[in-house]
Amino acid sequence: MAAGKKKHWYDYLWIWTIVYFALGFFNILFAWLGMIDFILPLIFAIAGGNKWFCNHMCGRGQLFWVLGRNLKCSRRKPAPKWLSSTWFRYGFLTFFMTMFGTMIFQTYLVFSGAGSLRKAIKLFWTFRVPWKWAYNGSVFPDWVAQFGFGFYSLMLTSTLIGLIVMALYKERTWCTFCPMGTMTQGICRIKSKKGN
């Protein structure tokens, strides 16, 4: 952030990212709150035709900035060009949506009774990490918790990828291939071409 600029409440949303992961550590049902970060950018893009969420409100992007720039955890070197190329961005979006779909299917299996609730987090879509302390039953059916575990896995994995590229390259390198960013920019481009 440039010095001397007026600070807004939404400049501190990086705290939200930390709070989100902390809450999910203790109770996985809080993972559902991450849906805000999925729905809000889409509302901005579809209704407003802008990326105001990415530009001003993204807690994750702000966290990378705070850690990378303010706390000097980034090499601040240019990232390879392919990371921000169209094919990689849309390829990553496709991969991400496929994994999101798989997660929804897992939730459905628990919902239908064909599968049982697994109290674990999957990192990088590969490594299973026990997370059983985060859920001890609730008034909600099991599938609600299953979605929580799946969604938290997705959020944590993508944040970890973001932290890795933050350390290696520029602070907000994640933003160049963030699936939400790609999606909202795509929507904005279509909207601006239509002329409204």
Give the footprint of other proteins on this chain (CB under 8 A).
Answer: 1-5, 44-45, 49-52, 54-56, 61, 65, 69, 76, 78-79, 81, 84-85, 89, 169-176, 178, 181-182, 184-185, 187-189, 191-192
Structure tokens at 83: 């990371």
For residues 92 and 96, give the distance between their C-alpha atoms in angstroms, rounded to a whole number.
6
Nearer to other proteins, 25 or 52 (CB): 52
Least gap, CB of 13 to other proteins (angstroms) = 13
**Exposed/middle/buried for residue 141 (C-beta within 10 Å: 0-12, 13-18, 19+):** exposed
Place of tokens 């990192």: 123
| C-alpha closest to that of 188 among 71, 91, 45 | 45
Smallest separation (angstroms) from other proteins to the CB of 54: 6
Minimal distance in Å, beta carbon 26 to other proteins? Answer: 32
Q: What are 62's two structure tokens?
A: 């702000």
Nearer of residues 17 and 184 to other proteins, judged by Cβ: 184
Q: Is residue 33 left, alpha or beta, with left meaning phi > 0 and alpha meaning psi from -120 to 50?
A: alpha
What is the smallest separation between the CB atom of 148 and other proteins, expressed in angstroms? 29
Minimum CB distance to other proteins smaller for 82 or for 95: 82
Looking at the Cβ atoms of 132 and 189, the one nearer to other proteins is: 189
Tell me whether residue 117 or residue 166 sits nearer to other proteins (CB atom). Answer: 166
State in angstroms the smallest separation of the CB of 185 from other proteins.
Answer: 5
User: Which CB atom, from 3 or from 114, has the smaller least distance to other proteins?
Assistant: 3
Q: How many residues does the chain have?
A: 196
Is the Cβ–Cβ distance between 164 and 30 less than 8 Å?
Answer: no
What does the alpha-carbon distance between residue 19 and residue 9 come to, in Å, rounded to a whole number? 16
Minimum distance of other proteins from residue 85's CB (angstroms): 8
